[in-house]
Amino acid sequence: MLAIRMHNRDSGEKPAIKKNETFYKTLTLGTNIFNIVRYHIGNNVSFDIIFPLYHLGETWIGATDILIEGDWVWANSGVGLSSRGYTNWLAGETNNTGENENCLGLFNTGFWNDAYCDTHLHYICEKEAALG
């Protein structure tokens, strides 16, 4: 079971954090950037509920093609993005506009976008839930 934690502008924390800062911060907290493919396949998460509730726009979800352009992998595992047979790119994406769009953003519509890694965006983390 996973507990999903949304970080947003109303939480009292920095409202948006760079992708690289976020990845290393979540490792120290014992969490990972949200793996949308794993969650989507096991659960029918509704972005129509999550995003308005937390006032999120585009959000980091932890995939990158920074090592090999066009070869998208999960940053915390190196597993290929489409290894489970699910992708949800916005029409026309990935387009690498202006080059160096190497990090994966999730729009509030549920579609994916390749974006510049130094863009300040919100992020979603996952952590094993404590049973008890």
> So what's the pLDDT on residue 37?
45
Classified as helix, coil or strand, 124 is strand
Query: Could you give the number of structural domains in the chain?
Result: 1
Nearest in space to 108 (alpha carbons), one of 3, 25, 8: 8
Q: Which position has the higher pLDDT, 23 or 60? A: 60
Confidence of residue 130 (pLDDT cuts 50, 70, 90): low
Which helix (H) or strand (E) segment holds residue 25: the answer is helix 19-28
Range of the domain at 88: 2-128
Tell me the pLDDT tens digit for each residue of 32-87: 555 554 444 444 455 555 555 555 677 887 788 888 888 888 877 788 887 767 77
| CATH classification of the domain holding 50 | 3.10.100.10
